Structure 1
């Protein structure tokens, strides 16, 4: 039997609710992913905050009612539109903030936290975006697969990534299925987004807040995702494990206690920079 994990409800005030997945929920880590939040955000929730040592990635679903106003201490400011993606490789440290672009409308998104290789954790932070129109799409009978990160067959995202990961946003019509090959060496898992999905015959549903998430790690390298009772949506994640320690303090995660302590001190001295006034 493949190992499983469970999504946990996570609310932060009245304007942020999420189903959250964290690596410490498993007997085995989901390296290189540190966490995933399937989130609905309807107002400013988290004040400007620091990151160091990993990448913070925001992916908006096409049904999001509005975009995300994103800015950071590097001077970047942009609106992540529905269907788009923004990747912040925090490296040695950055201050970051995201809020819904239009008050009163709800952002439907994934917040993804991806570890950086240890030799990149001390590098200068940088960020890049992918517009919705530039996300490659694969169409199969009854299936639409968006490929914002990584590749599916011969179709590849245009992004060059600091960590080897893949994200497939899969929309299935009722009764349809898709066979998803898992790249050699990747750890993979599936998150249900909407409707009822079966993964290798095992049902998963967003309606159950503790729905198990499949983590195929055995020799079988193809996962079958199917919609049985109506249309459904799921996201398949995979990535090459970094096999390095993770030391946390708040929103910083580095590969050694010394590097973590140095990052904390840099932030306290104001060396991560600050955001310009809105």
Structure 2
């Protein structure tokens, strides 16, 4: 599976209302936190390189661990729930032992593309002619897509990029196949030499999905 979704090492969807990620180390890859807009509060983030910031709903924090970083993430307000993704991304081999650093993107700086019945937030990479201002150490695209009933959206994937779709809520059709949060697998699109499009549809109700894409990397990160 890793070969199919590289440069992504893993993605975890989390709802937390208490301290869930006490101080813990990473090395050799990037740990990315993306907080959904429906979160009741943000994440208070701190690390051993001097970062201490609030990841507000709709915002993103990218910790490039390099040779090693220790960070901690807790809900900013006691008793309120954070809905977020923890995304682990390979670093290029020549950056896996580099000095760690952190990047942040505030909610208001995440570009948004509005189409009929569709909203696409672009925290990383690009969608159509819209580019995220984030300049991460690994070339990836992350799209937060909200779809209303009976809407169809074509998502372009560049040649040489793999991609996968992660359902967040609701049921969506991905290239004609139905997927929801309860499914044990996600739609994966291996690298191909020509550009392609992924077609998203919502037959009933509304749905949210994340689309991840990027060129594969070889990584020895652990």
TM-score by length of 2: 0.95
Are 2:65 and 1:90 equivalent residues in the alignment? yes
Are 2:178 and 1:203 equivalent residues in the alignment? yes
Q: Partners in 1 of 2:183 and 2:139 — Cα distance?
A: 29
Q: Partners in 1 of 2:125 and 2:140 — Cα distance?
A: 6
Partner of residue 111, structure 1: 86
Q: Partners in 2 of 1:194 and 1:229 — Cα distance?
A: 12
For residue 198 of structure 2, the aligned residue among 215, 219, 223 is 223
For residue 178 of structure 1, the aligned residue among 135, 145, 153 is 153
Q: Tell me, what secondary structure is at the counterpart of 2:173?
A: strand
Kept in 1: contact 2:150–2:203 (CA 8 A): yes
Matches within 5 A, 1:1-278: 26=1, 28-206=3-181, 208-210=182-184, 212-217=185-190, 218=192, 221-242=196-217, 244-246=218-220, 253=222
Q: Partners in 1 of 2:26 and 2:55 — Cα distance?
A: 19
Question: Which deviations, in whole Å up to 9, do the C-alpha atoms of 1:23-72 show, x marking residues without a partner?
Answer: xxx28441110100011111102320111100000001100111000000
The structure with the greater share of residues assigned to strand is 2
Kept in 1: contact 2:30–2:90 (CA 8 A): yes
Q: Partners in 2 of 1:165 and 1:27 — Cα distance?
A: 15
- Give the superposition deviation at 1:209: 4.5
Partner of residue 22, structure 1: none
Kept in 1: contact 2:2–2:9 (CA 8 A): no
Kept in 1: contact 2:118–2:145 (CA 8 A): yes
- Give the superposition deviation at 1:171: 0.3
- Give the superposition deviation at 1:246: 2.5
TM-score by length of 1: 0.77
Whose radius of gyration is greater, 1 or 2?
Answer: 1
Q: Partners in 1 of 2:219 and 2:100 — Cα distance?
A: 21
For these two proteins, the number of residue pairs brought into alignment is 220
Instruction: Show structure 1 runs of 5+ residues with no match.
Output: 1-25, 248-252, 254-278
Question: Which deviations, in whole Å up to 9, do the C-alpha atoms of 1:136-171 show, x marking residues without a partner?
Answer: 011111110000000011100001110010000000
Question: Which deviations, in whole Å up to 9, do the C-alpha atoms of 1:157-190 show, x marking residues without a partner?
Answer: 0011100100000000111111000012111000
Q: Partners in 2 of 1:136 and 1:148 — Cα distance?
A: 7
Q: Tell me, what secondary structure is at the counterpart of 2:33?
A: strand
